[in-house]
DNA sequence: TCAGTACCGGAACAACGTTCCGTATAACCC
DNA sequence: GGGTTATACGGAACGTTGTTCCGGTACTGA
């Protein structure tokens, strides 16, 4: 039988029951508050909705960005996972555009998420980091496949494209509905301009 | 001789000499502070640099956006004026791209300006308004000429393009130098995709 | 049941935008 | 030049946020 000591050492004690309860209601409250007031909602509002003190929020999430990432983790992971399915079911360019549109609505439908993704404030830095870590590989492969098929140019960096679309998802005043979609499509058409089949 | 009364009535009294002095040092101070700390710099910092009280700032510029617009008014106007010269000296598509790049650097080189251009806070609303009023007509004519020449598609709205580029100018972390330029060029290539000569 | 400690809540501090009001002074008239 | 008035001034004060600190609470394990 293998020596279990290293595993036992690596295991950390489970958190206290009340701490876990608080964490759960915190995530639930944050999700609700983010939905109705945007991700910049005051910490106090999230805390009071969760029925906990302010310090409890900071104890679990020293940086606001970690809370944001935790709330949207599932959706981000699902978006990343969708890339493989799309690649199987569609030809490369179609898969790419469908995924980019999915990514767009992931970001654009959460009020303030796009803005926080692009914020300079160091408290938000973990948000783009989480996005990069999970979504860049997904886009990378779709982009590579479409380029190999000669449907898009091959000189565009996946992460930069991710950030560019993220910027275009920031809501803007005085524009008609569908603005974000039109701009993202324009960027996608830019990908197609000058595409050449691989030699 | 024409009746001068309506004109006299329309003329407003010149401001008090000290008020004008304060306005001047305020603009100068704001320009300096914006350059070194970005356009989000605290009002107190601008006031103290100008040697005036906080209330004086608010008296002249009730909305922060008005101060921003006032500081950059000259550069915005110059950018608008450049459109005509470019249209004279270059063929339509070349004129369009040169102008878009000029617009890009106007925005991207002022720290925080792009972000304030896209902010949702109503206190910043006058910034996009000023940009729209002065720059949309300029872009409109360049875009129309390039579309008429069949060099770019004709289904893109000038104001939306302005806002899209504005969003892409928001600085982003973890990307290499030239990111903004690459994204703007990608958008421009999108304009070219599917262009048809006018019938 | 009881000790020890992990965890809690809210007061407290700092930074900022914004408003208010008593005071100072430039402009005008005589 | 001197007095009067409207204009403009400055900074204190208030409300809202992010963030930290600390005295107290209550869960866990024996």
pLDDT digit string (tens) for B67-123?
999 999 999 999 999 999 999 999 999 999 999 999 999 999 999 999 999 999 999
Q: Confidence band (pLDDT; 50, 70, 90) for B186?
A: very high
pLDDT at A198: 54
Q: Confidence band (pLDDT; 50, 70, 90) for A22?
A: very high
CA B59 to chain centre: 23
**Torsion angle, CA of B144/B169/B114/A132, rounded to 10 degrees?**
140
pLDDT at A35: 96
Query: Can you tell me which residue has its alpha carbon closest to the C1' of nucleotide C27?
Result: B16
pLDDT at A4: 38
pLDDT at A1: 40
Domain B72-192 = CATH 3.20.20.70: no
If you search the block for the tokens 């580029």, which residue do you land on?
A: B165
| Cross-chain Cβ contact A168/B168 below 8 Å | yes
pLDDT at B197: 58
Please give the Cα distance from B38 to B42 (Å, whole number). 10
CA distances from A1 to A4, A5, A6, B41, B164 (A): 9, 12, 13, 64, 63
The CATH number of B15-62 is 1.10.10.60
pLDDT at A12: 66
Please give the Cα distance from A92 to A168 (Å, whole number). 23
Number of other CB atoms surrounding residue A197 within 10 Å: 9
The set of strand C positions with any atom below 7 Å of a protein CB reads 6-12, 15-21, 25-28
Which residues of B sit within 8 Å Cβ distance of A? Answer: 115, 118, 120, 125, 128, 132, 156, 159-160, 163-164, 166-168, 170-176, 179, 182-183, 185-194
Identify the three-state secondary structure at position A83. Answer: helix
Q: Which two tokens stand for residue A127?
A: 């948000």
Check residues A33 and B6 and name the one with the higher pLDDT. Answer: A33
Domain A16-62 = CATH 1.10.3470: no
Q: Residue A159 pLDDT more than 80?
A: yes
Please give the Cα distance from B189 to B191 (Å, whole number). 5
Q: Residue A34 pLDDT more than 90?
A: yes
- Is any atom of nucleic acid chain C found less than 7 Å from the CB of residue B43? yes
Share of chain A above pLDDT 70, in %: 92
Using CB atoms within 10 Å of the CB of residue B3, give its burial: 0 to 12 exposed, 13 to 18 middle, 19+ buried: exposed
Give the side-chain half-sphere CA count within 13 A for B82.
Answer: 17
Q: Which of B98, B145, B154, B186 is nearest to A194 (CA)?
A: B186
Identify the three-state secondary structure at position A129. Answer: helix
Domain extent listing, chain A: 16-62, 72-192
pLDDT at A2: 41
pLDDT at B7: 44
pLDDT at A85: 98
Chain A residues with beta carbon closer than 8 angstroms to that of B93: none
Nearest to A167 among B170, B185, B186 (CB): B170
pLDDT at B170: 97
3-class secondary structure for chain B? Answer: CCCCHHHHHHCCCCCCHHHHHHHHHHHHHHHHHHHHHCCCCCHHHHHHHHCCCHHHHHHHCCCHHHHHHHHHHHHHHHHHHHHHHHHHHCCHHHHHHHHHHHHHHHHHCCCCHHHHHCCCCHHHCHHHHHHHHHHHHHHHHHHHHHHHCCCCCCCCCHHHHHHHHHHHCCCCCCCCCCHHHHHHHHHHHHHHCCCCCCC
The answer to whether residues A71 and A30 touch, using CB atoms and an 8 Å cutoff, is yes
Distance A169 CA to D25 C1' (A): 46
**Torsion angle, CA of A90/B189/B117/B28, rounded to 10 degrees?**
150
pLDDT at A128: 96
Residue range A74-90: mean pLDDT, rounded = 98
């Amino acid at each position: 039988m293998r020596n279990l000591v290293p595993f036992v050492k690596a295991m950390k004690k489970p958190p206290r029951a009340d701490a876990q309860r608080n964490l759960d209601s915190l995530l639930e409250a944050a999700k609700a508050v983010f939905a109705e007031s945007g991700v910049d909602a005051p910490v106090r509002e999230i805390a009071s909705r969760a029925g906990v003190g302010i310090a409890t929020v900071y104890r679990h999430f020293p940086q606001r960005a970690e809370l944001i990432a935790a709330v949207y983790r599932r959706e981000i992971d699902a978006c990343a996972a969708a890339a493989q399915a799309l690649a199987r079911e569609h030809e490369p360019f179609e898969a790419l555009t469908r995924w980019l549109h999915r990514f767009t609505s992931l970001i654009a439908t959460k009020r303030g998420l796009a803005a926080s993704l692009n914020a300079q404030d160091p408290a938000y830095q973990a948000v783009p980091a989480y996005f990069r870590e999970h979504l860049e590989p997904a886009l990378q492969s779709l982009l590579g496949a479409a380029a190999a098929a000669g449907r898009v140019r091959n000189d565009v960096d996946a992460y930069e494209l991710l950030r560019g679309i993220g910027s275009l998802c920031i809501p803007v005043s005085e524009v008609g509905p569908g603005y974000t979609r039109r701009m993202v499509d324009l960027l996608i058409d830019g990908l197609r301009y000058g595409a050449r089949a691989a030699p």
